[in-house]
Amino acid sequence: MGFYKLKLAIMQPTFNPWLGYFDLIEYVDKFIFLDIVQLNQQSWQTRNKIKVQNKELLYVIPTQKNSSKKDLLIKDTFLDFRKFDFRKKLLKTLQQSYKKAKYFSEVDSFIKDIVLYDTDFLSNYNINIIKQIVKKLNIDTQIVVLSKTDFKQHGLKGDLILEICNYFDTTKYISPLGSKEYLDKVSSKFKANSMDIYYQYYNHPNYTQLGDEFIPYLGIFDLLYNEGFENSAKIIKSGRKYENR
């Protein structure tokens, strides 16, 4: 028997992630939520796209800014309900925008439950959305929240990824293409630890979508409303491409 190479991916918990995020989860053996790093307020952790009246809308989740001088970690970021309940506004926007979608009746109660999920923390909110959708898509990848382990962080960026891979005894790290620039700088360290790095070159598939023109790279809510759970699982995997380069 050959030596089995454990495929591992590491991502920050994103709000309403795009299709490639879920293909990455399905492709690997173990998926790690990286919630112990600093939050970028302008990142996909706090915003993503839906389709409203033939146009893409960037919906932003309000969060409370850090009053101290310390870095605000993703796991410690509070949702901001002080002005309004963004969850109710989001649900209303989704229901008004997708009420004519083919699979609205199939998915709306499910999406309602995850959108109205009760928590004070951004990380918990995003992770619940992702985990519940993963179940509906029948993805059985093991999912780990890094802050719930005893992992101790030392390095940054590429070195941090290497530390996490070592912690989980990884032999094959699967990365989004956007991380290639900083991972290239530590590629020799991965080789020294007998680890291969593969990158995701996802080919975004077209699917049936409300409106006159197809808009790619929207959050997964759009796909679910338009194609339902069974079709969505197949469509997500149809864009798969991973290469070691």
Q: What is the pLDDT of residues 80-105, one digit of tens each?
A: 999 999 999 999 999 999 999 999 99
Q: Is residue 2 included in any domain, yes or no?
A: no
The string of pLDDT tens digits covering residues 4-20 is 679 999 999 999 999 99
Residue 138 tokens read as: 């029948």
Q: How far is CA 158 from CA 101, 165, 184, 198, in A?
A: 42, 11, 8, 14
173 pairs with which residues across the strands? 8, 197
pLDDT at 157 > cutoff 50: yes
131 pairs with which residues across the strands? none
Q: Is residue 100 included in any domain, yes or no?
A: yes
Q: Is residue 1 included in any domain, yes or no?
A: no
Q: Closest Cα partner for 99 from 59, 47, 52, 49?
A: 52
The string of pLDDT tens digits covering residues 165-176 is 999 999 999 999
pLDDT mean across residues, the chain? 94
Task: Categorize the per-residue pLDDT at 2 as very low, low, confident or very high, splitting at 50, 70 and 90.
Answer: very low
Q: Is residue 108 included in any domain, yes or no?
A: yes
pLDDT at 1 > cutoff 80: no
42 or 77: which leads in pLDDT: 77
Residue 229 tokens read as: 């759970």
Mean pLDDT, residues 200-219 taken together: 96
Mean pLDDT, residues 125-148 taken together: 97
Helices 220-238/104-115 angle, 10° precision:
110
Q: Residues 204, 208, 209, 210: what is their CA dihedral angle, to the nearest 10 degrees?
A: 170
154 or 184: which leads in pLDDT: 184
pLDDT at 68 > cutoff 70: no
Per the structure, the complete domain to which residue 65 belongs is given by: 7-243
In angstroms, rounded to a whole number, what is the distance separating the alpha carbons of residues 163 and 151?
Answer: 9
